[in-house]
Amino acid sequence: MTHTKKGAGALMGHLVLGYPTLQESIRTAEKYVEGGVEILELQIPFSHPTADGPVITAACREAVEQQRVSMQDCLEALQTIRQRFPDQEIMVMSYVNRVYAFGPRRFAEAMERLNIRHLIIPDLPVDDAQALAITRHANIKLVPVLAANATDARLEKLLAAGFDFYYLMSDFKITGSTFSLHPRLQKVIGQIKQTAPEARVGIGFGISTPEQVQMVYAAADVAIIGSALIRAQEAGGLETYLSSVGSA
Amino acid sequence: MTPTQTAYKDLIFQSEGYFGAYGGCFVPEVLLPGLQEIAAAFDEAKTDPSFLDQFHDTLHTFSGRPTAFTPLPRLTEEIGGARLFLKNEGLNHTGAHKITHCIGQILLAQRLGKRRIIAETGAGQHGYATAAVCARFGLDCTVYMGKKDYERQRPNVYWMELLGAKVVAVEDGTQTLNDAVIAAFKDWVEHPESYYLLGSAVGPHPYPAMNTFFQKVVGEEIRSQCLEAAGRLPDYCVACVGGGSNAMGMFYDFLDDEDVRLIGVEAGGRGTRPGEHAAKVLHGQLGIFEGYHSYFLQDGDGNIASTHSVSAGLDYCGVSPILAYLADEGRVQFETASDEAALAAVQRLARVEGLIPALESAHAFAHAFELAATLPKDQVVVINASGRGEKDLFITMRHFQEESLVAYAQHLLK
C-alpha cells in the first residue's frame, strides 16, 4: 500500500461508481491512478446523498436511477480496480443506509477482502453503535469527517478512539462549492497532529485549482478533489486537469 | 384505568433519542454541535415553568388553543356504529396542528439567541406556521419546499411569502418533502449558526421527542374534552401518519392507558406497488436516513424509493422512530386509506357535518368511518382533524368540479 510521504502533499481523487456507466467509472479510476492520484475515494452511489452538492448528487442519481448500479455491481467494480492496482490505497465512501441494507458485518468483510482499510460514511457518527457494528469484525477504520466547528471535547474523544485519517471540510460548505479555508481549521489540525502525529489529515470540499491544492498541502497532508474531477471529465479534459493538479 | 406494564410516556423523554433500537442522531459531524445545542436547550426548557407558561400563553393567544372537540352526530347516525368525535386542530392559526411545535421551537430558538430560521415543508402547513411564528417573533425565515409540492400547494407558498419568508422550490429528486428536508440540512451545513426548525416527529435527536413534547397538548386536551363530552375516554384514537407529528400529539397522553386503542393511518395512495403509496410501517423496511433509524420506503439495495399520495403532507418516505417503536411493540396499530377514500371522506364530512378536513386528515376519517361501522354504539372513536381543507382548494376542486376550476382559471387570466 502506497502511503503518503510525510511532508509532501498527496492527492485524493473522488469518483462515483457507476457514473457515467459502471465500465467508464472503472476506466476513470485507472486514469486517476495513471494521472498521479495517490488515494482513490470511490463512492458507492446512494439515491439521496445528503452531504453532497449538485455535481456529485447528479452523478449519484444517474448511477442509481439510470445505470441501476447495485451494491453487487459496486463490489465487482472495486474488485476489478483492486486487481488492476494491488497496492493502490483505496477508500470507499457511501451513506449509512446502503451499508445498513447490505449488512454492516457483511460489508466490512467485503471491504477487508478487497484490502480496503478506510470507509467514509458522512451521515454515520464514527462512534455510534452502528459504526461499531461495521468496524468490530474487520480490520477497517472509519474516517471522521469534521468541520471547523468540531468542539474540543469532540476532538479529544475521537483522538482517544485512535482514528488514523481525518477528513476536514474546508469550510461550512457542501461539496463542489467555491473554495475557502476556514480560519479555525488550523487549530483543529494542530490538535490532531499534537495528539496523533502519525494520523493523516485530508481537506476537501470545493477544491478545484492547483493553487488551492497548494494551499491545502501547506496546511494538511492530503488534498481531496471530487466535483472538479467530475466536471473535468464531463468537459473531456480529465488528463489535462489531472496533470495540472498533480504537479501542484 | 389500570396502569400498563410498560410506561411508554416516561420512556420517550428519558431515552436520549433512542426508542427501542430506533431514532438516534445520524448526521454529519458538522451538524452535531447545533443539534447538541438544541437538545440541551430543550432539556432545560421542558421543565422550566417560565418557558412552559410562555409556550401555553402563546398557544392560547396566538393560535387559539384549546381547539374544539366536536361530536359528529349525523355521521354517527348514518354509519350506525360507534360514536364519532373529532378534534379540530384545523382551527389553529395557519390551519393545522403544525403551529404548536413551531411556537415551542421558536421560543427555544429565541432562548438560544438565534436570528435565522431554516425549515422544510411538504404540504406547506409546517412552512406556513414557521413563517407565521418567525414574523411574530421577528426572525429571518427560509423555507425549503419540493418543487412538486410548491406547485400543488401554491396557496401556502403565497401565505409564506406574504409573511415575509423566503420560499425555495427544490428541484432535486422527486421534488417532494424528502428533497426539501435534504436541502434544509444542506443550508444548515452552510449556516451552522442558524436554527433548523424541523417540522415533524422525525429527523435526528432531539426533534422526534421535542416535537412530540410540544404536540402532546393535543392529547391532553382530548382527554378532558372527551371525558366531558362522552363521559369516558376514547376507545379509539385515529390519526393520519406522514412523519407522525399529529399522531404523536394525539397519542402521547394515552400511551399508558391500555384501553385506549391508537390507530395510525398511512397513505395507501393508488396501489400497493413501490412508488404508488407512502405506507412506511406497513410496506417499508428498516433503514437509517435523514438522521434517524426507522422504517423507510426503499428498494432492496438501500436506495430510498419514491412515494405517492394525493396529500403532500403524507407523501414522505420515512416515519417517526417513536411510531416505529410503538408499532413493533403493538401499542399503535397501522392501517392505510387510499387517495380515493380520502377524497370521498372530505366530501362526506363536508356534506354531512359541515366540516372540511385537510386531505392528510381525511385519511384518518376514511379509516375511522370503516372502523366505526364494525363497533357497538357505546364505543367512542375520536379522529384527529390535524388540518383544515382550504389549502387543498385546487386539488379537491379539480377532483370534484374540474370544469368550474378550469372556467375560474380562464376568468382570472382574462
Question: For residue B181, what is the nearest residue in chain A, using CA coordinates?
Answer: A50
- Chain B residue numbers with beta carbons less than 8 Å from the beta carbon of A169 are 30
Could you tell me if B148 and B50 lie in one domain?
A: yes
Boundary (domain end) residue, out of B211, B232, B247: B211
Report if residue B24 sits inside a domain.
yes
Report if residue B9 sits inside a domain.
no
Using the Cβ of A133 and the Cβ atoms of chain B, whether some distance falls under 8 Å is answered with: no
Of A114, A107, A60, the residue nearest A89 (C-alpha): A114
Answer for the pair B38, B112: CB distance below 8 angstroms, yes or no.
yes
Of B205, B165, B198, B168, the residue nearest B181 (C-alpha): B198
Contact B28 A102 (CB under 8 A): no
What CA–CA distance (Å, rounded) separates B341 from B80?
Answer: 19
The whole-number pLDDT of residue B14 equals 84
Could you tell me if B104 and B86 lie in one domain?
A: no
The residue among A51 and A143 whose pLDDT is bigger is A143
- Number of Cβ atoms within 10 Å of the Cβ of A191: 15
Using the Cβ of A102 and the Cβ atoms of chain B, whether some distance falls under 8 Å is answered with: yes
Q: Where are the domains of chain A?
A: 10-246
Could you tell me if B186 and B253 lie in one domain?
A: no
Q: Is pTM beyond 0.90 here?
A: yes
Contact B289 A61 (CB under 8 A): no
Contact B287 A101 (CB under 8 A): yes
**B386 assigned to active site:** yes
Q: Which DSSP string corresponds to A89-132? A: EEEEE--HHHHHHH-HHHHHHHHHHTT--EEE-TTS-TTSHHHH
Q: Domain total for chain B?
A: 2
The whole-number pLDDT of residue B26 equals 97
Mean per-residue pLDDT, B267-276: 95
Could you tell me if B159 and B288 lie in one domain?
A: no
The whole-number pLDDT of residue A6 equals 42
- Number of Cβ atoms within 10 Å of the Cβ of B62: 17
Mean per-residue pLDDT, A60-87: 97
What CA–CA distance (Å, rounded) separates B356 from B353?
Answer: 9
Mean per-residue pLDDT, B326-344: 98
**Residue with C-alpha cell 497532529?**
A193
> For residues B174-210, b (16+ Cβ closer than 10 Å) or e, as one string?
bbbbbbbbbbbbbbbbeebebbbbbbbbbbbbbbbbb
- Among B36, B182, B301, B304, the strongest candidate for a mutation testing the A interface, having the largest count of A CBs within 10 A, is B301
Report if residue B2 sits inside a domain.
no
Q: Report residue B221 as a C-alpha cell.
A: 386536551
**B44 assigned to active site:** no
Please give the single-letter amino acid code of residue B359.
Answer: L
- Chain A residue numbers with beta carbons less than 8 Å from the beta carbon of B303 are 46-48, 64, 97-98
Check whether B280 has a pLDDT greater than 90.
yes
| Bridge partners (DSSP) listed for residue B292 | B289
Contact A144 B29 (CB under 8 A): yes
Q: Report residue B329 as a C-alpha cell.
A: 411493540
Using the Cβ of A228 and the Cβ atoms of chain B, whether some distance falls under 8 Å is answered with: no
pLDDT above 70 covers a percentage of chain B that reads 99
Give me the domain span that covers residue B112: 19-60+97-211
Could you tell me if B289 and B375 lie in one domain?
A: yes
Could you tell me if B281 and B331 lie in one domain?
A: yes
- Number of Cβ atoms within 10 Å of the Cβ of A47: 26
DSSP A5: P
Of A72, A69, A70, A45, the residue nearest A56 (C-alpha): A45
Least confident of A155-169, A218-232, B6-20: B6-20
On average, the pLDDT of chain A sits at 93
Could you tell me if B240 and B381 lie in one domain?
A: yes
Report if residue B1 sits inside a domain.
no
**B377 assigned to active site:** no
On average, the pLDDT of chain B sits at 95
pLDDT above 90 covers a percentage of chain B that reads 90
Answer for the pair B326, B255: CB distance below 8 angstroms, yes or no.
yes
Using the Cβ of A232 and the Cβ atoms of chain B, whether some distance falls under 8 Å is answered with: no
Could you tell me if B158 and B287 lie in one domain?
A: no
Mean per-residue pLDDT, B231-248: 97
Classify domain A10-246 by CATH number. 3.20.20.70
Mean per-residue pLDDT, B384-403: 93
Using the Cβ of A184 and the Cβ atoms of chain B, whether some distance falls under 8 Å is answered with: no
The CATH number assigned to the domain holding B165 equals 3.40.50.1100
Report if residue B129 sits inside a domain.
yes
Could you tell me if B91 and B103 lie in one domain?
A: no
- Chain A residue numbers with beta carbons less than 8 Å from the beta carbon of B22 are none
Answer for the pair B247, B241: CB distance below 8 angstroms, yes or no.
yes
Contact B288 A100 (CB under 8 A): yes
Whether the link from the prior residue into A125 is cis, omega within 30° of 0, is no
* Phi, psi at A103, each rounded to 5°: 105, 115
Check whether A1 has a pLDDT greater than 80.
no
Report if residue B183 sits inside a domain.
yes
Could you tell me if B129 and B189 lie in one domain?
A: yes
Could you tell me if B50 and B102 lie in one domain?
A: yes
Could you tell me if B154 and B254 lie in one domain?
A: no
Question: For residue B299, what is the nearest residue in chain A, using CA coordinates?
Answer: A101
Report if residue B78 sits inside a domain.
yes
Tell me the pLDDT band of B5, cut-offs 50, 70 and 90.
low
Residues A152-196: pLDDT tens digits?
Answer: 999 999 999 999 999 999 999 888 788 999 999 999 999 999 999
